[in-house]
Amino acid sequence: MKHFILIVGIIAAAVINYQYQKKAQLFSNTQQKPKWEVLFDGKDISKWRQAYKDSIPPPGWVAEGNTLSVLKGRKGGDIITRETYQNFELVFDFKLTEAANSGIKYHVNLIENTQTKKSSMMGIEYQVIDDYNHPEIKYHPNSTSSTGAAYLLYPPVGKKLKPAGEWNTAKIIVKGNYAEHWLNGIKIVTYFKGTDEFNKKISETKFKDYPEYAKSNSGHIMLTDHGDQVYFRNIKVRRI
C-alpha cells in the first residue's frame, strides 16, 4: 500500500511539474512575442491620418485590391499612424512603379528647422526607391539614398531588391538606440543612434539644421508621398 501511495505521489508531482512548465513556457512565449497590430488589412485605413491634420488620408491614398497605394502627382501627402511606437518590429511589402521614390519613416515627430524656423514631421527613413531606373540612384544602387538605406546616413549592404512591378518584403526593428533594416530576408543596415559616428553623419546632411532630429526614442510611423505611385500591403507592427 505504501508503495502504491508513493507511486501515486510521484505521478501527481510529475503532472503538476509538467503543467507548471507548460504554463511557464506559454508565459515566456507570450512575453517574447507580443501580438501583431495590423496597420493595414487590405481595406481599413482608419489607423492612419494626414501628417499635419487629424483627419483620414485624402483621396490620393487608395485602398484597393488588398493594397494601399499613393497616386502619382503628390495627391496624397504624407500619412502617419495615429499611434506612436517606441521599441517595435515593423514589417511591410512594397511594390514600386518605374523610377518611383517613397519611403517609410519612424520615430516621426514635429521638429523645427533652426534656419527656416519652420517645423516638419521628421524621422529616420527606410528608403524605398527604384534603384534600377531612378535617374539619381541607378548609377549608385547601394548609396545612402538607395532602397533599404537609413536615408542619407547608412547605406544598405548585401541587399537583393526586386525590380519595379514586383513585391518586396521589408522589416524594421528598433530597440532602444539600436535599429535594423531588412529586405527580402536579408539584414542590410544596422546602427546605433546617439553615437559619435551617428551624430557625425547627421552633421554632414541636411538634417543638421534640425537639432531634434533622431533624438526621440518614440514617434509615429510615416508613409511618404514623393509624387510617384507606390504600393504597400501587409503592414503590421508589434511592440517589443
Q: How far is CA 220 from CA 17, 58, 105, 123, in A?
A: 44, 18, 8, 8
Cell of 127: 528608403
Rounded percentage of the chain residues whose pLDDT exceeds 90 = 82
CA–CA gap between residue 92 and residue 167 (Å, rounded): 10
Cell of 67: 493594397
Report pLDDT for 185: 98
Phi, psi of 34 (to 5 degrees): -60, 160
Is the pLDDT at 9 greater than 80? The verdict is no
Is the pLDDT at 204 greater than 90? The verdict is yes
Convert the pLDDT of each residue in 63-114 to its tens digit.
Answer: 999 999 999 998 899 999 999 999 999 999 999 999 999 999 999 999 999 9
Q: How far is CA 124 from CA 60, 223, 238, in A?
A: 24, 12, 18
CA–CA gap between residue 207 and residue 190 (Å, rounded): 19
CA–CA gap between residue 175 and residue 86 (Å, rounded): 8
CA–CA gap between residue 185 and residue 146 (Å, rounded): 17
Convert the pLDDT of each residue in 93-104 to its tens digit.
Answer: 999 999 999 999
Report pLDDT for 231: 98
Amino acid making up residue 192: F
208, HSE (Cβ side, Cα atoms, 13 Å): 8
Cell of 160: 537583393
Fold of 35-239: Jelly Rolls (2.60.120)
Is the pLDDT at 30 greater than 50? The verdict is no
What ranges make up the beta strands (E) of the chain?
37-40, 48-50, 61-64, 67-70, 79-81, 88-96, 101-112, 119-129, 167-175, 178-183, 186-192, 220-223, 230-239
Q: What is the residue extent of each domain of the chain?
A: 1-33, 35-239
CA–CA gap between residue 8 and residue 20 (Å, rounded): 18
Is the pLDDT at 12 greater than 70? The verdict is no
Cell of 164: 519595379
Report strand pairing: 101-112 vs 67-70.
unpaired
CA–CA gap between residue 166 and residue 96 (Å, rounded): 7
Report pLDDT for 58: 85
For the entire predicted model, the pTM comes to 0.86
- Average of pLDDT values for 138-165? 98
Report pLDDT for 33: 73
Is the pLDDT at 13 greater than 90? The verdict is no
CA–CA gap between residue 49 and residue 52 (Å, rounded): 8
Is the pLDDT at 145 greater than 70? The verdict is yes
Phi, psi of 210 (to 5 degrees): -115, 90
Report pLDDT for 26: 44
Give the mean pLDDT of the chain.
90
